[in-house]
Amino acid sequence: MNDNRVAFIGAGNMARCVIAAMVKAGYPAENIMAANRSQPKLTELAKDYGIATTLDNAAAADWADVIVLAVKPQMMQDVCSALLEQAPQCQDKMFVTLAAGLPVAHYENWLGNIKLVRAMPNTPSLVALGVTGLFPSRCSNYEKAFVDHMFQGTGMTVWLNEEHEINHIIAVTGSSPAYFFYFMQSMQQKAEQLGFSAEQAKAMVAQTALGAATMALQSDLSFAQLRAQVTSKGGTTHEAVSTFANNGLEEMVAKAMQAAIDRAQAMAKSI
Ligand SMILES: NC(=O)C1=CN([C@@H]2O[C@H](COP(=O)(O)OP(=O)(O)OC[C@H]3O[C@@H](n4cnc5c(N)ncnc54)[C@H](OP(=O)(O)O)[C@@H]3O)[C@@H](O)[C@H]2O)C=CC1
Ligand SMILES: O=C(O)[C@@H]1CCC=N1
């Protein structure tokens, strides 16, 4: 499977995370190429992962067996239309798109009835602790197996049966690293006010988050049960957690996740 040539169109944050995951999982760097409209990120990728790079999207598409569309949703139509014009044979190749919000129907309007997987990875893929949601369209079992192989190094893959579930994955795993970073940022700020240095505060908060996530992954206990283990009757944790509860944490989280889903749905209509 490592024989397939994979070209990324767009070499930003998410492309970098997936490329890192692939290379670290053993995918041959000589079978990966990144195309970008400007040079700096390409130079970094070539230096860090030894992959080929180009400023020419069509050349990358011509070279590839699998084309990964990794530009922002707002750029996608222009990028696809230019590919079809400059590398028309790409229509017969396998496509993977990382873009949030854009349904299969949009790509079919821009590129024809292509073989496509909508993939929704997240940034912890960079350290092989990501989650990637995958939804296939017009793909053979081999093509699905290849895409699964491609994303194995990101951490965990989850195949979806219905396209709308991609928007749910966005809320649960695609966007959610930012929720955790926001929470950790807030904790760091308070820790600094308490007198810890920025470096100490960041390290302590991140280590605690890692420990809590690792415990949850290694335990059969629910999040609520793990929380109860920390919460002594009449103790400090109870006061802290009650403050979250009394200020509507659960409702706020549900609202935030729904806002991500609503935005993905709105993007589909606006592009
Ligand atoms: N960031 C995330 O956590 C996640 C992002 N996604 C999706 O991944 C996609 C990329 O997002 P992200 O990596 O964050 O965005 P970035 O802005 O980091 O990357 C986009 C890249 O596309 C390049 N680009 C723009 N136009 C063109 C063009 N015409 N031809 C070639 N390259 C071009 C940009 O080049 P330049 O360097 O010149 O600006 C940039 O490097 C989006 O569709 C997003 O929805 C999905 C899951 C998670
Ligand atoms: O914010 C976004 O739209 C992208 C998709 C999921 C994470 N980042």
Measured from CB, residues less than 6 Å from any atom of ligand 1 are 9-15, 35-38, 41, 57, 70-73, 75, 79, 98-100, 120-123, 174
Cβ-in-10-Å burial (0-12, 13-18, 19+) of 5 comes to middle
State the complex-level ipTM. Answer: 0.98
pLDDT band at 224 (very low <50, low <70, confident <90, very high): very high
Domain boundaries defined on the chain: 6-160, 176-268
DSSP E strands, 84-234: 94-97, 115-120, 130-137, 155-159
Topology classification of domain 176-268: ProC C-terminal domain-like fold (1.10.3730)
The domain defined by 6-160 folds into: Rossmann fold (3.40.50)
Residue ID of nearest Cα to ligand 1 atom 28: 37
Instruction: Indicate which residue's Cα is closest to atom 3 of ligand 2.
Output: 100
Tens of pLDDT, residues 102-136? 999 999 999 999 999 999 999 999 999 999 999 99
Q: Using the mean position of ligand 2's atoms as its centre, give its distance from the Cα of residue 171 in Å.
A: 9
The minimum-distance atom of ligand 2 relative to the CA of 73 is: 3
Mutate which of 16, 18, 33, 36 for ligand 1 pocket (most atoms within 8 A of beta carbon): 36
User: Which residue's CA lies nearest to atom 24 of ligand 1?
Assistant: 10
Q: Give the list of residues 6+ apart from residue 43 with CB closer than 8 angstroms, or none.
A: 53
Confidence of residue 211 (pLDDT cuts 50, 70, 90): very high
